[in-house]
Amino acid sequence: MINAIALLCAYLIGSIPSALWVGKLFYQTDIREHGSGNLGGTNTFRVLGKKAGTIVTLMDIFKGTAATLLVLLPVFNEVTIHALILGAIAVVGHMFPIFAGFRGGKAVATSAGVILGYSWPLFFILLAVFLISLKLTKMVSLSSIIISVAAFIYALINLILNGEYIFFIMITILAMFIIFRHRDNIKRIKAGTEPKVTWI
């Protein structure tokens, strides 16, 4: 029973539609009706600006972190589910949020939050890779895909060296989530029509 409650909590945490709530509460804007229509940090930056984009991105990151760290709460000390599984459920909640008609984001920030909660050194390595890639390509989508591949490679090496198969499986699932959610972006990248940022 406690495992089921933990899974539900992880999903509900992930379902918090940060972009939608920030847009409606402070900007009187339904972000789903503007830009890409995506409930994520990138579209928030594009539609509402840097301040709102930063707040939403941080909120989405901490959703993943909070779900991953649920097992540290005394009320969940008997939970037998791996922390990364709880984190992945939060990512599912972010992509298909019950509080926003199951239309969510692309899972990048929340997945990053999962990694922050489980392995903060890896989080900062991937953050550095993301920023370097963004500086070079000017494309958030491509940079997101690149760090997904980088995380997979890291997890694969870690599997070979340390035998952490659960870590490998969950990182692979998160990477697949991100790449799948960016399939339209991949088409635009190939066509040379993917929007580029100008602020970096």
In a domain, 76, yes or no: yes
In a domain, 199, yes or no: no
Phi, psi angle pair for 164, to nearest 5°: -85, 85
In the predicted model, what is the mean pLDDT of the chain?
Answer: 94
Residues 6+ apart with CB under 8 A from 65: 113, 114, 116, 117
Integer Cα distance of 40 and 156 in angstroms = 28
Rounded mean pLDDT, 108-136: 96
In a domain, 196, yes or no: no
In a domain, 200, yes or no: no
pLDDT above 80: residue 112: yes
- Residue 172 corresponds to which amino acid? T
Domain range enclosing 46: 2-191
In a domain, 9, yes or no: yes
User: Can you give the pLDDT at residue 198?
Assistant: 79
Tally of structural domains, the chain? 1
Quick one: pLDDT band at residue 147, thresholds 50, 70, 90?
very high
pLDDT in tens, 74-88: 999 999 999 999 999
In a domain, 198, yes or no: no
User: Can you give the pLDDT at residue 67?
Assistant: 98
Consecutive H or E run containing 60: helix 50-68
User: Can you give the pLDDT at residue 190?
Assistant: 94
pLDDT above 90: residue 98: yes
Integer Cα distance of 46 and 87 in angstroms = 27
Quick one: pLDDT band at residue 162, thresholds 50, 70, 90?
very high
Residue of 13, 8, 3, 14 lying closest to 71 (CA atoms): 3
More confident residue, 42 or 145: 145
In a domain, 90, yes or no: yes
Integer Cα distance of 89 and 93 in angstroms = 6
Cβ(109)–Cβ(95) below 8 Å: no
pLDDT above 90: residue 38: no
Cβ(22)–Cβ(55) below 8 Å: yes
Task: Kindly tell me the burial class for residue 6, based on how many C-beta atoms sit within 10 Å of its own C-beta (0-12, 13-18, 19 or more).
Answer: buried
pLDDT above 90: residue 200: no
**pTM, full prediction:** 0.94
Rounded mean pLDDT, 158-187: 95
